[in-house]
Amino acid sequence: MSINFKSLQNRILIRFIFLLMITISIILFVTLEQTYRHSESQINKQFTTAQLVFSDKLSHHSRALYRGISPISKDFTLKQLINDAESDPESLLSAMNNQQRRIKTDFSALLSNDAKTIVSNISSSLTTWPVEKIRQSGVNILVLNNIPYLVRAVPIRLIESSSKIKAWLVMGIKIKKLISDDLKNILGFDVTLVLNDTVEVSTYPALNGQDKKLASQLFINEIPSADRDNISFQGKSLALYQFVINESENEKLSAIFTIDKDLAFINFTDLASQLIFVIGIIILLTVFLSFRFSISIATPLKNLVNIAHKIQYGNYAEITHDARVSEVNKLSFALSNMQSAIQQREKENHQLAFYSVLTGLPNRNHFLRTMNELIADATLQFAVILMDIDRFKEVNDTLGHEYGDKVLQAIATRLEKSLVRGAYVAYLEGDEFAMLIPCQKSVEIELLVAPVINVFEQFFEINNIQLDVSASMGIAMYPEDAVKADGLMQFADIALYVCKDKHNSYELYNQKLNTHSILRLNLMSELRGSLDNGHLQLHYQPQIDIATNQVKSIECLVRWQHPEHGFIYPDDFIPLAEQTGNIRYLTKWAIEEALKQYNKLKENGFHIHMAVNISAIDLTDSDLVDFVKVALNKHNVVPNMLMLEVTESAIMSDPEKAITVLNQLKEMGVQLSIDDFGTGYSSMEQLKRTPVNELKIDKSFVLELISSNEDAIIVKSITDLAHNLGLSVVAEGVENKQSLEILHKIGVETAQGYFISKAIHADDFLPWLVNYEKNNA
């Protein structure tokens, strides 16, 4: 089992225990240390006291000895014998022996006044006894024949009250006899007497036993020189205290107190074990309480974590707030609030994600999801209908977007009402609706679409305007046409596209429609790759100044040389690129290529304006202005050498935005031209506001200029108009010399067309130009 040290519960627990351990360790250490010191000092005190008691015992024995021999010294008979000592020492000695027996001493001696032995029952090497010393009160030790005695001497005066001392009486007791178990019990220690490094006597059992000699030697070796210390003897740890009882030149008599440390410290050990027991209980209790405490925090947290996990997967749960810790409770409430907020937002997101705000109908996502669900169900057959409103752009343009929106809403309402049971309608975007209608395989399509067509039978009356609306439908069948949602959508879309072309109210998909579509779709996926690998190229069509025949500028036209499909006309892929948004990359690529070409021409001494077409989509691209600026800088091209051509209709689709972008480009110095002028619906007002330098008259007015007087009038009018607005005029589609002359007469400045040159491959342009200039000159 591994412990997660990062979990709150364990951290709290571990910290608690850690803190507790430290506290207790310190307390234990201090207490035991103090107690140990106390015990030790107690023992030392006891040693000191014992020494006093021991000394007192010796004093006591000394006094007792004195009291014993003092009366003997006054014994009349003894005095008589002393008086006759010279003649009869045997009697004296015998009497002294008798007295000695009476008081149980171990030797006696009678000394002359000058401390020489008169008679004695101990053979001593002493010639002169230290009488003055041993007559003193107190403890007098005399070592005779290597045996220490407690001795006293008293003077014998023949007449007691006389100052004259006749002799000295000395008696002694073997000190060995004083060391008894009684003494041991009184002192509380074992007593060992050591004379000159030999154990004289001991109450310590080991020093009294059979191996007394050996043990004694070992014991002596162990004794340190210090006054007291601890020694280890025969596997026991002893507390030891020693002091000198008597020390003379040759002899040193010491007493040694010892006690088994286990006995001495028995209280200490008890205390320690009791303390450890109590502390153990405290630890258990603390661990238990801190465990409970940490659980009381951690468990609600764990629950909240689980809830948070559930929320992560969208499983919302009832959150209870029963934590005992207020912070945790706050968290619980916060989580609860968060959950509600998430639920609310999710609902809104769901609404936004799956429903159209405008119509209230499900959106494309919802539609696709529903379709996938139906496919997954696999029991139903159904028709996918994509529908768009015919000429809806006109409605928007003429009646306004707000009105258009209302039309869409009205259509949505009617569609919803009209649908058969089980059918499903969604609003995709713009003017596109989509429907799923369950049907039998053999259903008549007409019956299927009839309710939808019915929707548009009656006019829509909105804001008191009666509006006749029609729609086109593309239909794909599941599972006959495709078994996947995107396939169905694609085919329905193809069908719709075809339907629009044919101006039918509906078109059912069939495979024939598909081939063209597939190509178109594939092209788009290949477009970007083609930009990079050079399959797309710019071809250049020169524009000449009609007055001078000089090449003034060139229009850059994109050509796609597809490795499989061969040459693809711009009309075939540019609208597609516009639909898919790929036009942006195409335009940027074209601008860069044009600038490169410009520099190439410049290197060869030609300063020719480069005209590049941009689409309506580009005008909504806020990047365009910056891109142009950067590209000009990058290729070091003066801005007014670049001419951007934009169609009249591109400006008209969102005039405000377009005018803003065009203004920015114009401020930069870039030349602007309105392409295909005359085919759109631009108003004079808008034309006036549009910041262009040039109008390019659509080739439809120029191609038949020679034969059609009306066209000539139109061209003349446009030219006049342009000139009046301060704009120059370009005519495209010039295919013969007569047209060129007419244009020159009308006052058109620039001409472009097959008469001058068709679009020329990049590699061929420079030779062409050189040649043209040569001929022209």
Longest pairwise C-alpha distance within the chain: 199
Shortest approach of other proteins to residue 149 CB, angstroms?
19
Shorter beta-carbon distance to other proteins: residue 83 or 299: 83
DSSP character at residue 159: S
Structure tokens at 470: 């029609």
Taking the complex as a whole, how short is the minimal distance between the CB of residue 84 and other proteins, in angstroms? 10
Structure-token match 């768009």, residue found? 388
How far apart (Å, rounded) are the C-alpha atoms in residues 614 and 651? 11
For 634, the token pair is 């990058």
For the bound state, the minimum distance from the C-beta of residue 72 to other proteins, rounded and expressed in Å, comes to 14
Minimum distance between the CB of residue 113 and other proteins, rounded to whole angstroms?
A: 14
Nearer to other proteins, 5 or 76 (CB): 76
> Residue 427 forms beta bridges with which residues?
433
CB of 182: closest distance to other proteins in angstroms? 22
In contact, 659 and 691? CB cutoff 8 Å: yes
Query: What residues have CB less than 8 Å from 686, skipping those under 6 apart?
Result: 651, 652, 655
Q: Which is nearer to other proteins, 6 or 164 (CB)?
A: 164
Residue 524 · residue 513 · CB < 8 Å: no
SS3 label, residue 86: coil
Using the minimum distance from each CB to other proteins, give the nearer residue, 79 or 414: 79
Contacts of 157 (CB under 8 A, 6+ apart): 163, 164, 165, 166
**Strands 107-112 and 167-174, bridge-based pairing:** antiparallel
**Smallest distance from the beta carbon of 206 to other proteins, in angstroms?**
39
Enumerate residues 6+ apart whose C-beta is below 8 A from 106: 100, 149, 172, 173, 174, 177
> What is the closest distance, in whole angstroms, from the C-beta atom of residue 234 to other proteins in the complex?
43
Q: Least CB distance from residue 25 to other proteins, whole Å?
A: 57
Strand segments (E) across 651-702: 671-677, 694-697
Task: Residue 254: name the closest of 263, 267, 245, 262 by CA.
Answer: 245
Residue (64 or 668) nearer to other proteins, CB: 64
Cα–Cα distance for residue pair 30/24, rounded to 1 Å:
10
Other C-beta atoms within 10 Å of 2: how many? 4
Half-sphere exposure of 771 (CA within 13 A, CB side): 7
Q: Which is nearer to other proteins, 81 or 485 (CB)?
A: 81
How many CB atoms neighbour CB 293 within 10 A? Answer: 17
DSSP 305-322: HHHHHHHHTT---PPP--
CB of 154 to other proteins, least distance (A): 10
Spatial strand order of the sheet with 506-508 comes to 424-429, 432-438, 382-389, 471-478, 506-508
If the CB atoms of residues 4 and 161 are measured against other proteins, the closer one turns out to be: 161
Give just the sign of the alpha carbon dihedral 345, 347, 353, 358.
negative
Q: Smallest distance, Å, CB 61 to other proteins? A: 13
Which residues are at the interface with other proteins (CB under 8 A)? 63, 66-67, 70, 74, 76, 79-80, 83, 137, 157-164, 166
Closest to other proteins by CB, 163 vs 440, is 163
Q: Which is nearer to other proteins, 86 or 377 (CB)?
A: 86
> Which residue number, 155 or 188, has a Cβ lying nearer to other proteins?
155
CA 378 to chain centroid, in Å, comes to 46
Gyration radius of the chain over CA positions: 65
Complex with other proteins: residue 157 or 635, whichever CB lies closer: 157
Q: Least separation, in Å, of the C-beta of 158 and other proteins? A: 4
Query: Which is nearer to other proteins, 141 or 692 (by Cβ)?
Result: 141
DSSP code at position 205: G
CA distance 158 to 75: 9
- C-alpha 473/C-alpha 496 separation (Å) is 5
The least distance separating other proteins from the CB of residue 81, rounded to whole angstroms, comes to 11
* Closer CB to other proteins, 105 or 757, in the complex: 105
Shortest reach from residue 193's CB to other proteins, in Å: 25
